[in-house]
Amino acid sequence: MMDITFSGGEIDGTISAPASKSCTHRAIILAALSRGKCVITNPLDSLDTRATADAMITMGASIDWADDRICVGSKEIHAPNRIVDVLNSGTTMRLMTGIAALFDSETTIVGDDSVMKRPMEPLLNALKGCGVRCESNDGKAPIRIRGPVEGNRICIDGSTSSQFISSVLMMSPLVGRPMDIILEGDIVSQPYIDITTDMMERFGIHIIRTDSGFHVEPQSYVPCDYVVPSDFSSAAYPLVAGGLSGRASVKGFDMSDQQGDKKIVDILRMAGCSVDIDGDVITCTHNGRPKACDIDISNVPDLFPIAAVLLCTADGKSKLHGAPQLHFKESDRIESVSDMLNTLGADIRPTDDGCIIEGVEHLRGGWVDHRGDHRLMMAASIASLVSDGPISMKDDHCWDVSYPRFIEHMRSLGMRC
């Protein structure tokens, strides 16, 4: 496998934001569960979202991709007719696990080496408590699930991943009886749960919030045409690029969107970058050396790698904290981000829930191991803008997981690749 090398550049230009990966996943599933015909416009066509579509096809849905839309149809969803391979998509694995618990025949879910290391025990324990038979490799994939769900109460620990809660929420209206979802532990990444409940409402499901979690009556999903919003998580990379070197505009945003990662706008402003919002366009402009920041990332863990890049050359000591769940992403992102940036000349100390960064004036460049993690790879490329030398890494196209046009977009903005 060859390497890909980034040599900085002067950022200047405008791009269209990629579509939300989180919303595309959910829209495909909810459309398939609605037992009708739905059109999903502006979906993200990536390896991860294709994995979710393939999983729903194994359950009886018909899914046709076009340039800017997905046509989803279904009459009756059933247990998968083959093993569900989620590839590198932890989101697919977790959301499919809840759906699979509805069926009284066995579902087997597997994935690549990275996904097979992702923790599933909190979700499996919750389902076991409802009579679902769950087998796994010490709480990890491969997973074998056989329903149905019994009783009217499910207790779920949300301290590792919000996706566990989204999984049982999406399954709950179809159990056939009223369900109380009891949340336990410190809930992480709350905005992603809000995205799930909002999208379920759009597909006809009424959810009641309670003091302990949620109450969901038996209901049917209603077919709905859905437009996928732009993705703040992915747009963070070109916006930070503009903040570090030049100017970048990203169009297609709605600042009233529930995505937690719109916090990137606040983070850039805290770091001293100039950020302007004009209609659906966000523009970030370099305004000198970044300022040190103290940032709670508990609800926006996906911003951790690129926020660390933004602050590694800040003037002073920065702290990113509040997200112990980062240990359980595509890589242990606290460890891997710290190792990656320290290799490039940064001064970062990992903590249990983030890191402490002593800003340096410049990085030195070098070769880094992104561990096949798309967010590390993209963050490392942006780091080349504040490096004295080029940054190289494996050219394995891991960015296709969430941002297939990443290289194309960054080149159009002026990055040398």
Report how far residue 382's alpha carbon sits from residue 397's, in angstroms, rounded to the nearest whole number.
Answer: 16
Strand order in the sheet with 153-157: 153-157, 179-184, 213-216, 207-209
Q: How many residues does the chain have?
A: 417
If one counts every other C-beta atom within 10 angstroms of the C-beta of residue 218, the result is: 12
* N-terminal to C-terminal alpha carbon distance within the chain: 17
Q: How far is 307 from 303, CA to CA, in rounded Å?
A: 6
Which entry of 302, 339, 353, 400 is annotated as an active-site residue? 302
Distance CA 66, CA 257 (A): 25
Contacts of 264 (CB under 8 A, 6+ apart): 232, 235, 236, 239, 240, 300, 303, 306, 307
Structure-block tokens of residue 190: 């709350």
Residue 400: active-site member:
no
**3-state SS assignment for residue 233:** helix
Amino acid at 37: K
Q: Are 287 and 273 in contact (CB under 8 A)?
A: yes
Burial (CB count <10 Å: 0-12, 13-18, 19+), residue 194: middle
Active-site annotation, residues: 302
